[in-house]
Amino acid sequence: HERVTDTARGQDYLEFSCLYPTLQKTYSWYEITATENNPIARQMWANYTFMISNPIIPIITIALYGILIIYGQNYFRDRKPWNLRNTLAMWNLSLAVFSFIGAFRLVPHALYLMTHLPLRENICGDAEFYFGRGSGGFWTQLFVLSKFPELMDTFFIVVHKKPLIFLHWYHHVTVLLYCWTAYVNHIPAGFIFAAMNFSVHSIMYGYYFLMAMKIKPKWFSAIYITLAQ
């Protein structure tokens, strides 16, 4: 039962949740069913076709991102920083929870692919079959689209007048570009990247949440996050 047919397109795909009946109990129908009767599946396909047809969107987004960074830093140059500590804490908590759920979905799937398929298949195989539909496709698309709201991380740095290092904005720009490109071009390695990124972000944003709330344990050092990244 692990091979499922997308009845909307007549294409088979590997549904990871079907491989492990016990794990399948944690999945919702909307995640694992790629049929025309599933509004989530229809929206996923609409999003995908829109992304293919509009490759300029990430470019425009990055250009606006850069302009707003420059404008924001100039605006706050002679002004006092804002105090959005509680908002920042909730923002980081929401991203930590989202990333944890994403990691819970994609990491087991990625480990299955890496242990059951040769390296060549994981890097050069058919992304549509291995994870392009069902739960894998659902969470991969959410991962890619999440790179846009994650740019808000920089907003909090700017309005709090914290140092904006090169690595911060470079990371956001390159990850957004890579994720969009990998997704629309069916690059299989993008799935492994998503699983790894979800995993690290679940810890990283959890760390930022604790920092914002000033309840971070002394033993929880940022070096662990840096090593994981």
The per-type count for the chain, helices as H runs and strands as E runs, is 12, 2
Inter-residue contact 17 to 134 (CB < 8 Å): yes
3-state secondary structure of 5: strand
Query: 151: number of CA atoms within 13 Å, CB side?
Result: 21
Residues contacting residue 36 through CB under 8 Å, at least 6 positions apart: 7, 8, 42
- Tell me how far apart the alpha carbons of residues 6 and 227 are, in angstroms, rounded to a whole number: 40
Is 171 noted as a catalytic residue in this protein?
yes
Dig out the tokens for 6 from the structure: 């997308």
- Tell me how far apart the alpha carbons of residues 41 and 31 are, in angstroms, rounded to a whole number: 8
User: What 8-state DSSP symbol labels residue 229?
Assistant: -
- Tell me how far apart the alpha carbons of residues 17 and 127 are, in angstroms, rounded to a whole number: 17
Cα distance from N-terminal residue to C-terminal residue, the chain? 36
Inter-residue contact 146 to 197 (CB < 8 Å): no
Of 116, 160, 168, 171, which residue is the catalytic one?
A: 171
Residues annotated catalytic, as ranges: 171
